[in-house]
Amino acid sequence: MDITQIIVAIIGLMGVVITAVIIPWIRQKIGSEKFDRMMKITGVIVAAAEQMGAQGLLPKGLTKLDYALTQVQKALSDAGIKYNEDAVRSAIEAFVADINDRAYIASNMTGE
How far, in Å, CA of 25 to CA of 19, rounded? 10
What is the CA angle 105-106-108, rounded to 5? Answer: 65
Is this structure's pTM higher than 0.85?
no
Given a cut of 70, the residues of the chain with pLDDT beneath it are 1, 15-19, 109-112
**Packing angle between helix 32-54 and helix 23-30, nearest 10 degrees?**
130
How far, in Å, CA of 53 to CA of 45, rounded? 12
Amino acid at site 90: S
The pLDDT value recorded for residue 14 is: 74
